[in-house]
Structure 1
Amino acid sequence: MKKCIFLGFLSMVILVSCSSKKTSTPPSPIDPNPKPPTTINAKEIVSFKFNESNGETTNESKTGSNLTINVPSGAAERIVGVEGNAIVVNGFYGWASGKINVTYPTSNVAITGWVAPSAFPVQRKDADPITENTVASIFSNVNPSTGAGVALGVDQYGRIIGQCMVGSTLSQIVSDVQIPLKKWSFITMNVTGTNGKAELYLNGDLVQTKTFTGGSLVWDNSASVFIGKESKVKTVAGFDTNGLTGAIDKVSVWDNILTTNEIKSQFSTVTVPTPNLSIPIAERYKNDKHRPKYHLAPSAGWTNESHGLFYLQGKYHLFSQRNFNGPYLEHINWGHYVSTDLVNWEEKQQVLWPQPGFDEVGIWSGHVVVTGDNPYLFYTGVNKAKAAIGLAKSNSPFDTWNKNTSPVITSAPTTGYTHADFRDPFVFEYNSNWYMMVGTGLRNGTARGGLFLYKSALPDFTKWDLQGTMLEGSPSVDQTGEFWEMPIYYNFGSKSILLINKLPNANSLYWTGNFNGSKFIVDSQVPTSLELINQLLSPSIGKDANGNLTAIGIIPDNVTSAKHKSQGWANVFSLPRAWTLVNSKIKQVPHPNLLNLRSGQSTSFSNLSYDDSSTNILNGASGSQYEIVATTNPGTATKVGFVLHKNTATTEQTLIYYDVANKSFVVDRSKSSVLSDVPKTNQSTAYELPAGDIKWRIFVDASVVEVFINEELAFATRVFPSGVVNGIDLYARGGTANASEVKIYNISTGGVTSVAKTTSEKEELIHPIVFPNPSNSFFNFHFENIKSLSSIYAYVFDLNGFPVKKIETTVDNSNPTFYWDGFLDNGFKANQGVYIVKGFINNSLFEAKIILN
């Protein structure tokens, strides 16, 4: 995924691009104790207050000029600023530009303004020389061809950067300090042209001085003024890359330099608020019919490659690749998400971003391990020449991380190996020693993927010794491609797994076997595909609160860059999945916490028979956010499954089914959308199911579909229907199929409705009889009216909502009771207190409260 660049035509899409982004009208706060104005000897010749409450223009008060805000109609955003309102810029759109009729000074000039970045701007990894800084301006009137004019802004590392043309010389001044993210900073540049001197100030303090050959300041009065973007045109895949992401307020140009006292006075007379830089998700995306509601997705911009999932001090932490400046792959940061239940997530401030040195053009993927209460973060740092492995540490609540100033592995091995690239560390413990594997593509002989193996030489993880390669591919035999990235190792006990994401044609593959301290010894040279349909990529694993292995991956959009530009975000995370290893196969099931997504409303059907000619089997069921739990039997049919996102008016539909005749799973997207910039290719994978019933759990969340089969198999796909009509039905071809039961559960109020014969109703919980209750060790759960063999799939939850014991069993009419002995999955006796037992009997939900004393 790191190498993907999506191409597309953008002109028409830009008009639609943020059609859901409506003007935000923040209140204009009134200071009850206004401070007296500061007396300044210099004359203010340009002044932007940004106090408009709405609209797509902003006024320059000294000349009355209006600058146009670069957004579609109704999409300009403002927040409360340091005084009145502030303009919001979103990286690839939202800046203001236009002409101002003013006479600029030729001897001295000062620029002042307030900026609150939520991310630092992009430096293009391949297109920009490392010596060329981005100047994401708060003010720029530079002629890009001649350099005439002056600019002040923030560069790709968060440093204050100024630019001016004096005589025939173009000069830049860059601070050594980095301004903070998500806080207001007052920045100032003084330029004394005749004396050849420039100064930068941060919050009233002088932070940088530069001298140069004196002369007259050179301007181009015909040049456009930019607020929130560099004057140059720089793009990637049709996205402007040199815009600011954040907010700007009170920008002024002065006809002379300001004294230190005047600058300090301007800063000190403002009561600085905390800027609200959160993305207004509900308002911005309210008309986005493809954005999921209960899958974790980026608030805006680009995300890919989840990593570093860990649980510590009552919270789950997850990280991913992020570009906050737009939905395209460039200038990668580490995004950060926090949850208490793996279901509801909060997006936090990024924890790592490029800085001068070994990670100056990108913070790529890696891993987090926890020893005791101390998390250690390992990542790939990229500069123009090579990749290295970096280390960062954090303290509770783990919102900010401190990098080691130098990498712990400076470069890939050079002696004895010829290879392509070096990235994505994964750290694990074996026999009380810590090991790290790093993905690569070996090039001595046949091009193949491989994993370099290192062993930690110091307990603080700052020194690693190369051990060789842990495993190498053989593409002609194992079809593992030419490069391996995002590796995973996990020891289930008697067996371990080693998972890689192979390139090209990205796919998550795994072997079972055993690690012996230097090599991974595979059980079979040919790996197994993690997914039935190859759509989920780069899963990140971690133990949940009860020690169960949990995985979350990325489900890419696979749309054009024009589509990404129109929606403003890119790619989503999978739902959390519980992994176990059974008969050398990874079993994937929805994490039990996902039961909490159900709203309590459901639609039920039973004993359905249907064939090629059957229509509207589920009586008009439809929805955009729901879960299907069903048991079907192919009967005499050769194809059996579901119709999703059905729209009779547009003939759109997506088919997900099992092909009995050809022994394969199929996602038929050939009619999934009438849109032109979304994937519509069919997907299929050969897999032989045992004869008989097929158990389905399908999660639909707008464009995201995740499917789980027989409490073992899983796959994900993406579909982008054009409208809001999203019918649901059963599907069979070649004969008659049967469904003993189908339940459709509402999720996130998006919901499902069903008309005609069956109506949506409150889900009736089954409450088994529990005895004894309370008990000090042993509970019986007795069901009434059991007529046949029935499967039980349940969890015991503590009062914090965490699953502590998994229960899988059966009951029947002769023995309608199952029990829990009071022990947890980790082998320990449960503490006294109240517990909830919740799960399915067949496809019906049951619940019981118990007290352990």
Structure 2
Amino acid sequence: MFFEKRTLTLTSLALLVALNGCGGGGGGSNGDDPTPQDPDDEPPADEIPSPDAGALIHLDYNTLVDGVRVSNEAGTNNFPVENAFDAPELVPGVEGQALRTDGYSTWVNADLDPASNKTLTVETWVALESYPSDAEVPHAALTPSSFISQRNELAGFSLDINTFGQWGFTVYLDGEAVMLNAPDVFPLYEWVHVAAVVDTPNESVSLYLNGEPVASETISEDSQISYAGGDLLVGKSHTDKYLGIFLVNALNGAFDETRVYPGARTPELIQDSLDVNVAQADGAAHDSLIVPDSRFAGDLQRPQFHAMPPANWTNEPHGLVNVDGRFHMFYQRTPNGPFKTQMHWGHMYSDDLVQWKDEEDALWPTLELSDTRGYDMKGIWSGDVVYENGTAYAFYTNVNHSGPYNPGVALATSDHENLRDWEKQGPIIDSDRVEDFRDPYLWKEGDTWHMIIGARVSGGGGLDYYTSTDLYNWSRKSRFTVPAYSQMDIGSAIWEMPVFEPLGDGKHILVVNPIGGEVGKYDDDKPTRGVYWTGTWENGSFTPDYLTPKNLDVIAGHLSPTVARNGENQLVGIGIVDERRSSQAQLDAGWTHTFSFPREWRLLEDGETLGQSPADDLQTLRDPDSHLSIAPGAVTGEFDPGIEGRQKEIRVEVNPEVTGSQYGLMLATSPDQEEVTRLSYDAERQEVVLNKFKSSLSDQVEDKKVYREAYDEVAFGKPHTFHVFVDGSVVDVFINDSAAFSFRIYPTRDDSDNVYLFSDGGETEVVNVEAWTLRQP
């Protein structure tokens, strides 16, 4: 995956809320003394460096010393770069290389010895992929991040930015804070130059963006800078914000040409700094914001071929839409680390549902002053996207701390050819008719648009239902299903991520994802999973064929699919295959969750069961030179067909008339079977069995257990074909190209990559075994 490079022009949104708290905050988390330094330790007041005095610190990031330090080009020392992998990343910058920061673990600690307490200039080039994360708290309680900071409670200076893009400069003069607030939010996906100048002889503090002054304050010529002790930080605030074990308020972007000067640089000198690099920067920053391949090069668990963000945290995919043959998929995202807070909408696109390219984020929380009080400042939750007459309409769940439309369904639109540059239209539907709701899903019939929203109704799972003729004005309908939701629910607290589509032969399918209540992620009886009903749709009412829903997957582990029609009008679904390892393991990895391979959906012959098979385009991932094909014949016990590798497609065909009582495959197996995952069919009990008890040696894996689930032989047929895709830690399984499930495993050994066949309780006639190594086409 990669960003599609394009040239961006600098645009700023009008900021209607002041930068309240952007430079404030509590004591530093690094143990610094919160009081100003002793005046005897400060530079003499009568020594005022000239505006063109040489830099005290100049970081060009072109090389790394010992792989983990940056050189100070203004001196002989070098400074450490903090990084979770002890491998700081250099990417293309405005001049040579730049330092890539990841949003949670990468920053520079530099020594700064001020030369004057009367003048100071700090400047840097920076490109942000996103604003820093924070806890989901009201605006006044935010903990901003910083581009450059040497601060404590009562002294120092910092160039700050908060989670809504509000930014400014704070400096303490004579122990009092002077704060400059930029009028516009900070640009994203662009290389920009920021500078702050303290000039007490000329009675001013000034803030610059791309050489233009954006804020200033008059000060006394007798003022003196109150410096703070401790390191100068680049890419992180002096005040850390943690959610559990996760540091959430560092910066996700790239830094280049960071300088600190003892003198007060003039506007002309700041422009000179800009002019040196601006021709090379040219505004575009996408190449600099690509996550380097080296970050996860040694990660055995990270999938290489499944759709997923380039790094950090993701959740449900949604809004899968086909626009002129190109598929766009949006998804829940925290761009700043492997943690969940203040959700964005990520965006990727594909021409075949297999090869995906990353776009810039479509939506993120913003502030405004209106009667909705900043309706989505707490997060952009899941929803759907439809396309009509050259315009894409994104309907998303907005959440806030108070006020109406909390939660609500909000609308954003884009007329860009690749569905960029979204314009928020505001909330359109409130949740006041139900106890809670989220995740709208839309479809059109004739001139009428329909929307269902996952909801909590009368204490359990249900739906909220609306119609419209213009996508802006919606009328609520009293019900969507003929039976009451309580008759269909399985004891959940709310239904999420609904999908409703025709399957042919006069049948529709309703898919929901019940959560809460009696439903839990690892519950043996009611695990969190997708469920569905088939049925008939007439006059705005859905009548299911049965009240108790069927499971979307035979074994739980995949849920919340988003769907679209491919070029053959085939319905295709892609869901999330969530993590089954600890928060610490996710922090250590630097990413969380992945999406499933695309599945083609169809109605089976019984007219009541969904059939799922791997999308045809997955065959483009096969390396033809790796093809293995054998016909083992009768298998008793274990059989080695000679398949190994962590990125494989395996297809096993057996004679269903000649099988043992239990037969299947052993996946991700070490030679001594210290690590092994057993996938099989229990023919006597008609159950699919997934034994993950020895799937990993890691003590961070949460579900080392045996899963057993009933299998419908009448609908799917006795298992005769196992079609399995292994890609790092994610496995997709299709039985008879009809029943499906996906799950996660985390084998730790390099040699846990063997595949064996086995048959217990008698021999199984294996007709054919085929395998391919997966590779990029």
TM-score range, shorter chain: 0.7 to 0.9
> How far apart, CA to CA, are the structure 2 residues paired with 1:516 and 1:176?
54
Any unmatched runs of 5+ in structure 1? 1-38, 750-800, 802-853
Query: How far 1:69 sits from its partner (Å)?
Result: 0.5
> How far apart, CA to CA, are the structure 1 residues paired with 2:228 and 2:718?
79
1:438 and 2:464 correspond: no
Q: Which residue of 2 aligns with 1:514?
A: 536
**Paired letter, 2:418:** F
Q: Which residue of 2 aligns with 1:740?
A: 767
1:699 and 2:725 correspond: yes
Query: How far 1:309 sits from its partner (Å)?
Result: 1.0
Q: Which residue of 2 aligns with 1:406?
A: 426
> How far apart, CA to CA, are the structure 2 residues paired with 1:466 and 1:396?
31
Q: State which of 439, 442, 445 in structure 2 corresponds to 1:424.
A: 439
- Against the structure 1 CA distance between its residues 517 and 74, is the aligned structure 2 distance closer, same or farther, given a 3 Å change threshold? same
1:110 and 2:121 correspond: yes
Q: State which of 675, 681, 685 in structure 2 corresponds to 1:658.
A: 681
Q: Is the 8 A contact 2:413 2:425 kept in 1?
A: no
TM-score when scaled to structure 2?
A: 0.84
Q: Is the 8 A contact 2:115 2:262 kept in 1?
A: no
Q: Which residue of 1 aligns with 2:398?
A: 381
1:603 and 2:614 correspond: no
Q: Is the 8 A contact 2:733 2:741 kept in 1?
A: yes
1:349 and 2:343 correspond: no
Query: How far 1:74 sits from its partner (Å)?
Result: 5.2
- Against the structure 1 CA distance between its residues 692 and 366, is the aligned structure 2 distance closer, same or farther, given a 3 Å change threshold? closer
Q: State which of 283, 297, 301 in structure 1 corresponds to 2:308.
A: 297
Query: How far 1:349 sits from its partner (Å)?
Result: 1.5
Q: Which residue of 2 aligns with 1:467?
A: 477
Q: State which of 306, 312, 321 in structure 2 corresponds to 1:310.
A: 321
Query: How far 1:428 sits from its partner (Å)?
Result: 1.5
Give runs of aligned pairs for residues 297-696 of structure 1, distance below 5 A.
297-356=308-367, 357-385=374-402, 386-409=406-429, 411-413=430-432, 417=434, 419-420=435-436, 422-442=437-457, 444=458, 447-456=459-468, 459=470, 461-471=471-481, 478-493=489-504, 494-504=506-516, 505=520, 506-516=528-538, 518-582=540-604, 583-600=607-624, 601-611=626-636, 614-615=637-638, 617-633=639-655, 635=658, 637-649=660-672, 651-678=674-701, 679-689=703-713, 694-696=720-722
Q: State which of 149, 156, 173 in structure 1 corresponds to 2:156.
A: 149
- Against the structure 1 CA distance between its residues 520 and 331, is the aligned structure 2 distance closer, same or farther, given a 3 Å change threshold? same
Q: Is the 8 A contact 1:364 1:424 kept in 2?
A: yes
**Paired letter, 1:649:** D
Deviations 1:597-636 (A, max 9, x none): 221232222252122xx33x23443221221222224636
Query: How far 1:396 sits from its partner (Å)?
Result: 4.0
- Against the structure 1 CA distance between its residues 102 and 197, is the aligned structure 2 distance closer, same or farther, given a 3 Å change threshold? closer
Q: Is the 8 A contact 1:512 1:523 kept in 2?
A: yes
SS at match of 2:617: helix
Q: State which of 46, 58, 61 in structure 1 corresponds to 2:70.
A: 58
Q: State which of 264, 273, 280 in structure 2 corresponds to 1:272.
A: 280
> How far apart, CA to CA, are the structure 1 residues paired with 2:269 and 2:414?
39
> How far apart, CA to CA, are the structure 2 residues paired with 1:109 and 1:466?
60
- Against the structure 1 CA distance between its residues 109 and 604, is the aligned structure 2 distance closer, same or farther, given a 3 Å change threshold? same
Query: How far 1:656 sits from its partner (Å)?
Result: 0.4
Q: Is the 8 A contact 1:369 1:375 kept in 2?
A: yes
**Paired letter, 1:413:** D
SS at match of 1:566: helix
Q: Is the 8 A contact 2:681 2:719 kept in 1?
A: no
- Against the structure 1 CA distance between its residues 515 and 96, is the aligned structure 2 distance closer, same or farther, given a 3 Å change threshold? same
Query: How far 1:476 sits from its partner (Å)?
Result: 7.8
Q: Is the 8 A contact 1:122 1:134 kept in 2?
A: no
> How far apart, CA to CA, are the structure 2 residues paired with 1:464 and 1:324?
33
**Paired letter, 2:453:** V
Query: Structure 1 residues 489-498 or 534-543, which shifts more?
Result: 489-498
Query: Structure 1 residues 58-67 or 174-183, which shifts more?
Result: 58-67
**Paired letter, 1:131:** A
Q: Is the 8 A contact 2:414 2:423 kept in 1?
A: no
- Against the structure 1 CA distance between its residues 176 and 238, is the aligned structure 2 distance closer, same or farther, given a 3 Å change threshold? same
Deviations 1:395-427 (A, max 9, x none): 343241322242223x3125xx4x14x321111
- Against the structure 1 CA distance between its residues 468 and 189, is the aligned structure 2 distance closer, same or farther, given a 3 Å change threshold? farther
- Against the structure 1 CA distance between its residues 213 and 661, is the aligned structure 2 distance closer, same or farther, given a 3 Å change threshold? farther
Q: Is the 8 A contact 1:555 1:716 kept in 2?
A: yes
Q: Which residue of 2 aligns with 1:48?
A: 59
- Against the structure 1 CA distance between its residues 219 and 58, is the aligned structure 2 distance closer, same or farther, given a 3 Å change threshold? farther
Give runs of aligned pairs for residues 63-78 of structure 1, distance below 5 A.
64-71=76-83, 75-78=87-90
* Identical-pair percentage: 29
Q: State which of 724, 727, 752 in structure 1 corresponds to 2:750.
A: 724
Query: How far 1:162 sits from its partner (Å)?
Result: 2.0
Query: How far 1:166 sits from its partner (Å)?
Result: 3.6
Query: How far 1:59 sits from its partner (Å)?
Result: 3.3
Query: Structure 1 residues 686-695 or 593-602, which shifts more?
Result: 686-695
Deviations 1:676-705 (A, max 9, x none): 112422222112425756222111112111
Q: Is the 8 A contact 1:190 1:257 kept in 2?
A: yes
Deviations 1:364-392 (A, max 9, x none): 11101122443211112222232222222
**Paired letter, 2:280:** V
Q: Which residue of 2 aligns with 1:715?
A: 741
Q: Which residue of 2 aligns with 1:235?
A: 242
Query: How far 1:168 sits from its partner (Å)?
Result: 4.8
Query: Structure 1 residues 688-697 or 174-183, which shifts more?
Result: 688-697
- Against the structure 1 CA distance between its residues 80 and 675, is the aligned structure 2 distance closer, same or farther, given a 3 Å change threshold? same
**Paired letter, 1:561:** S
RCO comparison, higher one (Cα < 8 Å, 6+): 2
Any unmatched runs of 5+ in structure 2? 1-49, 368-373, 521-527
> How far apart, CA to CA, are the structure 1 residues paired with 2:399 and 2:706?
36
> How far apart, CA to CA, are the structure 2 residues paired with 1:680 and 1:692?
27
Q: Is the 8 A contact 2:312 2:335 kept in 1?
A: yes
**Paired letter, 2:322:** Y
- Against the structure 1 CA distance between its residues 216 and 649, is the aligned structure 2 distance closer, same or farther, given a 3 Å change threshold? farther
> How far apart, CA to CA, are the structure 2 residues paired with 1:713 and 1:524?
19
Query: How far 1:518 sits from its partner (Å)?
Result: 4.7
**Paired letter, 1:81:** G
Deviations 1:156-194 (A, max 9, x none): 223332223344544543323233322210112234679
Q: Is the 8 A contact 1:668 1:681 kept in 2?
A: yes
- Against the structure 1 CA distance between its residues 179 and 64, is the aligned structure 2 distance closer, same or farther, given a 3 Å change threshold? same
> How far apart, CA to CA, are the structure 2 residues paired with 1:598 and 1:503?
37
RMSD of aligned alpha carbons? 2.7
